[in-house]
Amino acid sequence: MPALTRDEAQTRARLLEVHRYSIDLDLTRGDETFASTTVIRFTARETGSTFLDLRPTTLHRILLDGSELDPAALTEGRYPLDGLTPGEHELRVETDMPYSRTGEGMHRFTDPADDETYLYTQGFLDDCQRVFAAFDQPDLKAVFELTVTAPHDWTVLGNGIATRTTGTGTWTIAPTPPISTYLVAVAAGPYHSVRAEHAGLPLGLHARRSLAEHLDADAAELLDITRRCFDRYHEIFDEPYPFDSYDQAFVPEFNAGAMENPGLVTFRDEFVYRSAVTDTERQTRAVVIAHEMAHMWFGDLVTLQWWDDIWLNESFAEYMGYQVVTDATPHQGAWTEFAIARKSWGYDADQRPSTHPVAPDAEAVPDSAAALLNFDGISYAKGASALRQLVAWLGEKDFLAGINDHFARHRFGNATLADFLDSLGRASDQDIHAWADRWLRTTGVDTLTPAVTTRTTDDNPTRHTWNLGVSHSGNRPHHIAVTAYDLAPAAPDALTLRERFDLAIPADGDPRPHALTGPRPDLVLLNDQDLTYAKIRLDPASWTTVRQALSAIPDPLTRSVVWNAARDMVRDGELPPAAYLDAARTHLPQESDVAVAHGVLTFARTQIADRYLAPDARPHALDTLTAVCRDILETTRERQAPGLRLTAVRALIDSAADPAELRDWLTHDTVPHGPRLDPELRWRTLHRLSVLGAATPADIDAELTRDPSATGREGAARCRAALPDPRAKAEAWNALFETDELSNYLFTATAQGFWQPEQHELLEDYLPRYHPAAVAVARRRGSAIAEAAGRWAYPAHAVHPDTRRRTEQCIGDADPVPALRRRLVDHLADLDRALHVRGM
């Protein structure tokens, strides 16, 4: 299917004004297709030609102003509309549409726990045309009214309040205000629902029936977070919530974390927890709820005009999600989690050849396929970091005034970066456009390096002063906080805060040295509280102090800045990976923040052990990590720290080399002194046993009998693919690349199990087969599977020049589809970094 180009969208928008869609969906036609009838009322401003977007199984009829058109004219998802005359028109389109098994369009899922079927739509970015015929671009907003026919025992949800016609399976969904085509949403099935109300607004939570007990257990928390976020947004935004209801549906096999459909937000249903989770994971869920709610204003009320401005949606929702959770809920560690886990996504993306500005020029996003690639760590994490820096510079009052001006000027319309900057400019006397040029129109990560010097005064040799200079590699201005710590004389592993001060770093050049009284501190830290987006370096004396007393830094957000500095130094080849492991061995057992512990363990396990160290050094790295985890379990035996214990147990399972202990845990269904092995931990344990060759297909079948859920089915697929057996590998390969029967989630689970560093000899023959197989399956199955094939099925463990050569050759010669190409380009950059760290 051809991607919609920006030029085509502009031409169509000049010609058409779209008023209303009336859509009728019949979901009772069988397992493969559903009936979709669409009536579009629009005005042509002048004589001209354009096209309609739709991807049906069968186009039965198409009528323009009552006159039959030829269905055979449909070509590659476009139906030509030639010779439109000025004035109002009505287009009627009758189709059968295909159900999806890859999370695109109308996804159909049958729950293995009870054989119930569930449907939901995902219309983003250009997938609504898999559900109904449309002029599918964000700036052709219209009113949508839907009628849905479903089995009698199903619930139907939509963007507006859904009402069932008495005694039938027909539901009418209230008309929306003007919204974009990609935001139209429907969910249908025997959903279990929890309903409530807040300030006169109907609220709903919905999940599969097999998850009913888990949704009920979490409903009070979910509704409390929802109410708190609504109240906070109504405190800071002048514009009230613009839709008639707020449903949150937790749906199966969802490709994203969530989707901001107005009035019907869809979430991946892993957010309905079946197993134990940490408070940090509950905080992450709260951030996602706040993020999607922010989209009701950023993206739904005011929508981007073209996909070059996706940051106007995602960066703002990302920033607001973390800030509103911090302001309005009990979760006070949100920015720590952002710093240690989320922000690295932006840093890593920004150092690859595929980087792009937060707000790229429109010419850099020529079509919808290019736009889809920009939903990445830059548009989310870097953009949110830039906004946090903007607030630090402008002040929150002016920032919010600019936002409210933006909403008032563009409500239910479309806007651009220039529009938003104009609103900020009206609210502040700062040069917003110059700031935007530096922060939003440039790529790459700045680096800030301290230089600390001391001297005595001429008139008093016992009086010292210390100067802080900062070397600034980059081109952005920064407003940061600097902290100075001293080691406590009586306790050499304890730190005391000496002073904290703000520092402005100009866009070009280094700031003037900052002079303070007293001897040089033991630790000088730039960017305390993580207010800017930049790599931070530590001077040698400060690094020596960190090695001794990192865990003594009192604030977890400050500790995350230090750990990020160490992480970046490893990735840049300035700190040996073993030194990072040594720091983790020394300080992680004393860590009190779950997000920090999880972030450090994840980087150490997945990057240092699996990629940055040579294979012969990997066993020692895994031994170090298991020792760290055992120490955490020992230090938490007598205190209430379930999140730390769960984090340590997960990492211990993933790093274990001796299967005996894992088998004992699985047999007794618990870790000594807790936690109990719930389904998530049991599948994780069985997966590690499978990798180590200490599990059998019979073990996997028995566990699946014990847990026949969708998650259990994915766990079984992951375990089977991980078995170090030639037949198991061949079957997994065939399922991934030859048969096309796996759903998006089962494809991912199988890919996650397939490549294992412990099995490199067994997998050697598959390495040259990966690239042609991935190119072929991506072409056949579309962008969701292309993304999964590039992300999860790539042999990332194979850090070798041959892997690099094959990847580079595939990018250059095999013409992979854009979603796969982007992943391969990123893997190539990451492979080069790993080879550099290894000295290869």
Instruction: State the CB neighbour count (10 A cutoff) for residue 673.
Output: 11
* Residues 6+ positions from 469 with CB-CB distance below 8 Å: 450, 451, 452, 453, 510, 511, 513, 514
Residue 820, both tokens: 């796969």
Phi, psi of 504 (to 5 degrees): -100, 125
Contact predicate 61/94, CB 8 Å = yes
Look at residues 406, 432, 145, 372 and name the one whose alpha carbon lies nearest to residue 297: 406
Residue 666, both tokens: 């699985």
CA distances from 32 to 93, 94, 115, 263, 784 (A): 20, 17, 16, 28, 19
Contact predicate 793/729, CB 8 Å = no
CA distance 542 to 569: 14
Contact predicate 193/205, CB 8 Å = yes
Look at residues 710, 781, 707, 717 and name the one whose alpha carbon lies nearest to residue 102: 781
Contact predicate 534/447, CB 8 Å = yes
DSSP code at position 614? -
CA distance 150 to 131: 15
Marked catalytic residue, from 260, 292, 314, 703: 292
Residue type, 279: D
Ordered DSSP codes for 73-90: G-BTTEEEEEEEPSEEEE
Find residue 25's DSSP bridge partners: 36, 148
Instruction: Work out whether strand 105-110 and strand 117-122 pair parallel, antiparallel, or are unpaired.
Output: antiparallel
Contact predicate 25/36, CB 8 Å = yes
Q: What angle do CA 299, 335, 636 make, to 5 degrees?
A: 135
Indicate left, alpha or beta for 839 from its phi (over 0: left) and psi (-120 to 50: alpha).
left
Beta strands in 366-459 (DSSP E): 413-415, 447-457
CA distances from 26 to 126, 242, 598, 662 (A): 22, 29, 46, 50
Contact predicate 304/138, CB 8 Å = yes
CA distance 597 to 560: 10
CA distance 681 to 591: 22
Q: Which residues of 509-548 are buried (b: 16+ CB within 10 A; e: fewer)?
A: eebeeeebeeebbbbbbbbbbbbbbbbbbbbeebbebbeb
Beta strands in 578-701 (DSSP E): none
Residue 28, both tokens: 């009772």
DSSP code at position 453? E
Find residue 518's DSSP bridge partners: none
Q: What angle do CA 340, 341, 344 make, to 5 degrees?
A: 90
Find residue 205's DSSP bridge partners: 194, 248
Look at residues 829, 806, 764, 792 and name the one whose alpha carbon lies nearest to residue 837: 829
Angle, helix 744-754 to helix 710-722, in steps of 10 degrees: 30
CA distance 55 to 61: 14
Is residue 292 flagged as an active site residue?
yes
The tally of CA atoms less than 13 A away on the side-chain side of residue 661 is 12
Look at residues 291, 272, 292 and name the one whose alpha carbon lies nearest to residue 221: 272
Active-site annotation, residues: 292
